Chains A and B, each alone.
Chain A
Amino acid sequence: MIAKRVGGALLTLFLLSLVVFAMSLLMGGDAAEAMLGQNATPEALAGLRAAMHLDQPSWQRYLGWLGGLLRGDLGVSLITKLPVSTLLAPRLLASLQLAGLTAAVSVPLALFLGILAAVRRGSLLDRVISMATIGVVSVPEFVIATLMVLIFAVRLHWLPALSSSRDFSSLHDVVRVFTMPVICLACVVMAQMIRMTRAAVCDALDSSYVEAARLKGVPPRRLVLGHALPNAIGPIVNAVALSLSVLLGGVIVIEVIFNYPGVARLMVDAVSTRDLPLIQTVAMIFSAAYLMLVTSADIVAILCNPRLRHR
């Protein structure tokens, strides 16, 4: 069953590579035109295209690109002439730091708030949490980000407006760089997780087996953590995976606003220069990360469920 999921994910990834390649073809224009600009002669264009293998039929270029990907050769940036992997490595690390930190903050907090709201269903606390999550999710992240910059950087001067520094020599520096981007991203991803956790735990708490456990004299904490939560794991990990995948999209806006040197900004730059190898690789990285999240959520859900585990 797990093998089936992984196989499905790999197949999806392959189909995505086709889509990504097709999309980059559809973008129109090519890097040769972009590089030579206005004063391009047809001869110069043809020569440059041949040098960059742009004159080959598209299926050949696709196979060449796919083969390179599989060998770990991501190609060479058309603009900077540097290997894509060299360009990408530091950016990927930076993005992963941001996403990882956001996940580390938001997942436990979201689960805690979701479970708390479910246990205290109908109470003032539950309503406050629900209203707050809806409120935060309705505001676009760039508004939150801009507001935070206005308040904490411009008015109070507590934090720098830009997070482009890569100097993490002290905890103080880390806090200064990450606080605002992480809070903004956490606001975006937590709402969905809180709501799904609350719904899943509420469902489990309403079940006959929780009533039966209550009638056995099981104390409330054990009722929630020992009986209800294991049954809510499936929906919760899926919500977590989906929310974290939002991080991939969310980072583009946030990285641009805070001038954070991550993958997403690299992609935005690559699009404006029509640097196809770079665009394709970054798109594939986003797709692969998304698939990995969703597939691992499925696998966790399967492993946690004895009905699926013992077939």
Chain B
Amino acid sequence: MSLSGDPLVRLTGLEISVRDAQGQDKIIVRDISLEVQPGEVLALIGESGSGKTTIALSMLGYTRGACRISDGTVEVAGHRLDSLPEARLQGLRGRVVSYVAQSAAAAFNPMLPIMRQVIEPALVHGLMTREAAEDKARGLFRALALPRPDTVGDRYPHQVSGGQLQRLMAAMALITDPALVIFDEPTTALDVTTQIEVLKAFKAVVRDLGTTAVYVSHDLAVVAQIADRICVLRDGMVQEQGRVEEILFHPRQDYTRALVAAAAARVPAAPMPDLPRDAGDPPLIQMRDVVAGYGGVDAQGNPQVRILDGVSFAIERGKVLGVIGESGSGKSTLARVVAGLHAPASGRVNLDGYTLEGEIRHRDKEQLRRVQLVFQNADTALNPAVSVGEAIGRPLTFFHALRGADRKAEVARLLDLVRLPAALAGRLPGELSGGQKQRVNLARALAARPDLLLCDEVTSALDPVVAEAVLDLLIDLRRELGLAYMFITHDIGIVRAIADEVMVLYGGVPVELASHEALEGPLHHPYTRLLMASVPELRPGWLEAANSAFSCGSTPGAGHAAGCRFFQRCAVSHPGLCDVLDPAVHVGAGQTIACHRGFDGLQATPGIAQGAIPA
């Protein structure tokens, strides 16, 4: 493949331009020079727009849309990919260089069975017979620790979970024994508990096969587990390259330092002092035994599919409840029930002791004003044809009848509140960056002067450094305005930074409710422990040390009628008890846990007490 000592990949002075609608060329990636030695894993790290995916794709001789390689060379395994004609490139792609996409769920053809797609590279390049390729694929499925490796290939993509698809895509990339594999953010779309398993599988395969890889990511902690070297990118240029330890522990550039700081665990915010209130006052918002879902309602009034199943909590004025759980745990539905976008089948939601109507059209204007929802994705939540000033101004007119100069002044004040210049009022959302859009989104919710903000994954779609800043803003706003938040996230680090109390949801059931202090304590529901142990830490070797004491298997159980929802994944379950009876709720100091083991049982369980996590 390559001569000894020669790098497998060599980019020299790579420049990639995009042609805009006016026919002007704009350089988006400039002067990239880097090398990857055989058997090495190089990470390309940077924010969105840093050009990391564009550079990675150039190693397949591929550019998206109106992009093209305008200068420099791309050399992979002795082939000059920048100058080869498309027909020659086609012969190299999938054979010499292969690609694992960010979202395997989108990259698998939904109409074709999985096996046919996995072996396709081997067949189109004429490398093996169908039988040999299928055998090899099953071997790779096993090596990637996929469940049911012999039959998973007969399934269609929609019948397999996201974490499994991601591993199946890796099998597809490895089927031809390529010289180089490009991993493009392969675990970004996964839950942390799934990510850890996929990362382990990738790492084992890359090590065993001696694969050379380029690993694209925005997550420094993930990269620290899998890469040998890191290349930090910003605005299409290389900021810094070096071995993992150098970048993590001795970053030279300011930007790298900011990245490392953003990836490090946050110092928990000082808890807010309690606002003065009378002992008899009801909480600001209180939810009691809410069941919500979809499908027809049965004789007991329960929906066919229960997304939330008996959820109760209360948020006092000025307090923050963090809600945490993986995708499908019902956390977004929780916010939608409070906001009145999803009527619960049973149970009630009280605002200041008064029961709110389930549906938003039955709530009065004052109730609407007091509870505001901030959506996850500012890109889709803001109307692209409506200016920033208008987007923020509309709730001002609707709730507070502000018009003309008064409204304009209030818009400027709100923009200032979210640390944006007032001049932005005339812009359209499309002209703003992701972080600016999320701030506008926030200002729009604040325009109503709410008492409670429902924040649904408001920092998840942002780059780490930007997400940090938005989180800091939310903490400041809370102090300035005395707001209460329901803060929904999958990131336990964020919850630690902002929440006074944390609710952990699993399968629509709260498995743990803990105060800020109790969350730092040693005893938790096994699922909470699993979540905590799955967050990648910013040090090489964490992945190997992270044991699976908290879980056996990543597949959430299919809706079983009774018992603990976490039963099938729980490493410390009591078969015959946990899968039969609903767990009792145990109340401790500032903490309640729904687990059959109770506090005493958990204390006595090896591997569950915090000290047992290998450091």
Residues on A close to B: CB < 8 A? 207-219, 222, 226-227, 230-231, 304-307, 310
Contact = CB atoms under 8 A, between A and B. Distances in A.
Nearest to A212: B107
Interface centre among B57, B90, B103, B111, by most chain A C-beta atoms within 10 angstroms, is B111
Contacts of B107: 208-209, 211-212
Interface in B82-124: 90-95, 98-99, 101, 103, 106-113, 117, 120-121, 124
B92 A217 contact: yes
Contact of B111 (A212, A217, A222, A230): A230
Contact of A207 (B64, B106, B117, B158): B106
A227 B112 CA distance: 8
21 contacts: A208-B101, A208-B107, A209-B106, A211-B101, A211-B107, A212-B108, A213-B109, A213-B117, A213-B120, A215-B98, A216-B93, A216-B121, A216-B172, A217-B91, A217-B95, A217-B125, A231-B109, A305-B110, A306-B110, A306-B111, A310-B156
Given A306-B156, A310-B156, A215 B94 contact: yes
B140 interface: no
B159 interface: yes
Contacts of A209: 106-110
Given A208-B101, A219-B124, A227 B109 contact: yes
Given A208-B106, A218-B120, A305-B110, 14 more contacts: A209-B108, A211-B101, A212-B169, A213-B117, A215-B62, A215-B93, A216-B99, A216-B172, A218-B90, A227-B109, A230-B109, A230-B111, A306-B111, A307-B156
A305 B62 CA distance: 30
Nearest to B159: A310
A215 B60 contact: yes
Nearest to B109: A209
Given A208-B107, A215-B98, A216-B120, A307 B158 contact: yes
B124 A218 contact: yes
Given A306-B158, A310-B159, A217 B124 contact: yes
A302 to B, nearest CB: 13
A219 B111 contact: no
Interface centre among B60, B64, B124, by most chain A C-beta atoms within 10 angstroms, is B124
A217 B113 CA distance: 19
A64 B537 CA distance: 80
A245 B243 CA distance: 66
Interface of B: 57, 60, 62, 64, 90-95, 98-99, 101, 103, 106-113, 117, 120-121, 124-125, 156, 158-159, 169, 172
B92 to A, nearest CB: 7
B99 A212 contact: yes
B104 to A, nearest CB: 9
Contacts of A219: 90, 124
Given A207-B106, A306-B158, A216 B111 contact: no
A213 B109 CA distance: 9
A306 B112 CA distance: 8
Nearest to B87: A219
B177 to A, nearest CB: 14
Contacts of B111: 230-231, 304-306
Interface centre among A210, A216, A307, A310, by most chain B C-beta atoms within 10 angstroms, is A216
Contacts of A208: 101, 103, 106-107
B152 to A, nearest CB: 14
Interface centre among B98, B112, B125, B172, by most chain A C-beta atoms within 10 angstroms, is B112
Contacts of B120: 213, 216, 218
Contacts of A304: 111
Closest 8 interchain pairs by CB?
Answer: A217-B94, A216-B94, A208-B106, A212-B107, A230-B111, A217-B93, A306-B156, A209-B109
Interface centre among B62, B103, B107, B159, by most chain A C-beta atoms within 10 angstroms, is B107
A201 to B, nearest CB: 13
Contacts of A214: 62, 93
A132 B111 CA distance: 32
Nearest to A305: B111
A64 B91 CA distance: 71
A234 to B, nearest CB: 10
A213 B90 CA distance: 10
Given A212-B101, A307-B158, A217 B109 contact: no
Contacts of B94: 215-218
Given A217-B92, A307-B158, A230 B112 contact: yes
Contacts of B109: 209-210, 213, 227, 230-231
Contacts of B121: 216-217
Given A208-B106, A307-B156, A310-B159, A216 B98 contact: yes
Contacts of A306: 110-111, 113, 156, 158
Contacts of B108: 209, 212
A226 B94 CA distance: 17
Nearest to B92: A217
Contacts of A212: 99, 101, 107-108, 169
Nearest to B65: A206
A212 B62 CA distance: 11
A217 B156 contact: no
Contacts of A216: 93-94, 98-99, 120-121, 124, 172
A300 to B, nearest CB: 13
A210 B120 CA distance: 13
A119 to B, nearest CB: 14
A228 B113 CA distance: 15
B110 A215 contact: no
A262 to B, nearest CB: 39
A203 B109 CA distance: 13
A26 B62 CA distance: 66
A215 B99 contact: yes
Contacts of A210: 109
Nearest to B101: A212
